[in-house]
Structure formats: C-alpha cells, structure tokens
Structure 1
Amino acid sequence: MARVAIVTGGTRGIGEAISIALKGMGMKVAANYAGNEERARQFSERTGIPAYKWDVADFDACQEGVKKVEADLGAVDVLVNNAGITRDTTIKRMDHQKWQDVIDTNLGGCFNMAKAVFDGMLGRGYGRIVNIGSINGQAGQYGQVNYAAAKSGIHGFTKALAQEGARAGVTVNAIAPGYIDTDMVAAVPEEVLGKILAKIPVGRLGKADEIARGVGFLVDENAGFVTGSTLSINGGQHMY
C-alpha cells in the first residue's frame, strides 16, 4: 500500500521538487501551500499532485489540514517540513513582527505539523519526518537573525524529536541546504549573490532536485537506522 506524504510549502521551489520526487517513489503526496492559488493550481495540473491550502504557522489550521489529507489519502506516514519565509533586515531595523512571522512559520510550523501527525506515527509504529533547515542556521548570516534563529532551532528540534520516536520506528532528520537556485535566492541582489558564489567550492548554486534526492534517501523505508541527523547539501560552503 502506498505511503502518504505531506510536503509543506510543496508547490514551488525546493518543495515542488520534493513533492515530485516522493510521487516518483510511489507515494501519495499532498502538497501544502499558504497563499499563491494560481501557482498551486498550475502545480497540480502539471504534476497530478493535490494541493491543500493552510498556514503552517496556525496550529488549528494544521490540525484541520492533516485531517483533510488523511480523509482524502489515508494516514500520514511521511512529513516534510519545508515551508519557510524570509523577512531579512538587520536587527536595528527589524521590528517584532518580522521576527515573529519568521519564527512562527519556519520553526513553529515544524512543531504544528509534527504535533498533528506524530501520535499517529507512533501508534502505527512507522514514520518519517524530514525538516528543512539551512546553512544559515548552522553558520549564521548577516541580516537574518530571525531566519538563522528559526533554522538553527529546527536542527535542535530534529535531534530532540528523534529521541522520542526512535524506538517506535519513527525517524526524524533534517536537511540543511546551501544556496539553491530558487525564487528566494533569485531575489538576492546580484552583487551579493556574486560574493556568495565565490564562497561555494563547487562554484555554482545547488538545484532543488539535489535537495529532493536527499529527502528521498531519508524517507525511504530502508533508512530506519538514520535518525537525529542533519544532512548538509551546500556544495562544500560550510562543513559542519
């Protein structure tokens, strides 16, 4: 019987690549999204993967969203916490809302979604959770105290939750992407991006498919001895 997977932020960028990869592994995939209705519609038409709208920063919405997916597709075996936002600026200019929005979505979303599926995974004796962190959660980044704090928190969250699920067959791992060729990175000013590229030993941006292949490894049924780990996919930019 096909495993059921939810990918948050799953209709664009890295999330889109992950959704497509998991479908290619034979899973029934639900791609969550927060706002871009037209992009989600196009994604579903192109891939045949259903898209479900809710805000991962909203605890109750996550509970209801997961219930809807389970009613449509079945019990959730795989969760990929990929949804994330940026509100970049220096702390001098960062107001509390920019801080809270990023913490609530990027880190709070991991808790909200894990809370919605974890008990079911424990009860069935199987589960795979992958949280998408960031190189900037490992190394820090100027102008990103909110984003770096949230992503760093994801790595700690992963290690702690992995210990709760290990004996029940539920693995929890993280991936820390470097700079990937997505819309988010495309918004970086050209002169800044040039400096970033100069620091990447392989000399290029990563591809979303490369992150998706890492996720595919971690969610495989044969990956049950890998838990509490962070897989860095960053072209050698930060070795941690």
Structure 2
Amino acid sequence: MGGVISSARDSLNAGTDEAAKMARENLKQMEETAKLINHGFHLEIVDKLKNPNETRGWQVVGGRQDRESEFIGIATSKTPASDITAGVQNLIKGLFDVNKSDGSAEGNERAKQFQDSVIHIAQGAFNVFLGNSAAGSSTLRKFLIVPHGLAFYRVDIGMYKYTLESTGFVTYYESITIVYASRAILDVTDLHPGELLAYAADINGDDEQKIEQWVTHFKKLYRLMKELRNEAAVDTPVFPNRGLPLPPTPFEDTE
C-alpha cells in the first residue's frame, strides 16, 4: 500500500509559465528518485530478514515478511504538514489492520488501542526525524518487537528525508519524505524465558493469573499448529524441508 503523494501537484498542474513547466518535470524526476530509494529500503529489509546474522538475534519465521507498507510525500514545507504526518501514522496502522476483525465494539476498541500503542512506540523517532528542517538528507533505520494477542511481530522501518535548500524551479516544494515499514512474525523459539515472560506481561499486564492463562493457551495452540503443519508436510512431498520436525514449543520441557 502507499504511493507518491505531492501537496504541490494541483498548483503545478494549473501553472502555464516556464517555471511551472520546469517544476512539473523536476517533480516527476523527484518522484522517480523517491521510488528508487523506497525500493532500496524494501530490498534491504527483505535481504536482512533472510539472513539470521543480520537480524541481531531477532529472527523471523521463514525469513520473510508477511506485510509491508510505504509512504512517499513531496511537500511544500520543510517541516511536516498534516497530510504528511497523517500519512506516516496511517502507514503504521496499515501493518496491523488485520487485527480489527472480530466485529464487536470491545474488539474494535482493543484493535484501536493496539494500533495507537504501535504508533506511540515509533512516534518519537518520527517526530524528531520529520521535524528536521535543516537542508540536506537524513536517513533513519529502526526495528521494533511488538507483542499482540498470541503473536510477536518484528517491525522494520526505513525513513529518508531530503530538505531542499535552493529556490527557483523548486519554489513549489521544499522536502521529500519516504517511509517504508515491514512486518514479520518473530520466531518465538529463539526467545529466552525472560523475554517471553516480559512480552506475556506486555500483553496481559502484571496480573499473574492472566499471564498463566495466556501461557497455557499459547502452548496448546502452538502444539496444535505444529501438528497441523507436520500432517500437511506428509501430504505435500514437493516441499522436502516440510517433513523436518519443528522446534520444541516455547515454555515446553525438552528433556
């Protein structure tokens, strides 16, 4: 999802003088450059997730992402306008739209609170990054571990901002903002008990009974998914690696 957004396009299209024509052509070039930078973030993160040595020990299931979102904004100001900041926030929400679907008012409120909490985690970096009005380019890379429900997500974010210094044919626009975000499912078999406990507490608060119920439920469903996958592997011999046994269930005694 995402795409190129330019708050200058309407005024440029209305212009007929040489300056407007030149600005339109330059805007097109800027958009193409922005797309290349955004694609570079995509390739970088996809390659990183494939390589356990590059994930800092936070490996993801299958070495692949399950969702991505992107935002490109070319704006008429050096500091972020409302459409830029709203676009960045919606980009992060877009990674977790799938969690909205139980239909109840309570479920929708939980989903909203979760999305807001994810935005809050990244908001500090966004605010500092987007608020930079100094001329030149700046790049920021960030990853977050986000526990929710019965899953743990790894969110990788690449951000690039270029603030123009010159005037003339760039009178119509002064900054370019690019944000690429990727979501992947964290491989919980690599987590230590203390980390699992911390994430279980993030999900359930400090209520010991709720944490214990969550752990019991998690173990049960995780075992069920392992059995389902191993049964499917028997019926799909075209995937030779699927017959291999899965790692032990988290929280499980392996002796």
TM over 0.5: no
The interval holding the TM-score normalised by the smaller chain is: under 0.3
Give the strand-richer structure, 1 or 2: 2
Higher radius of gyration, 1 or 2? 2
Q: TM-score, normalised by structure 1?
A: 0.25
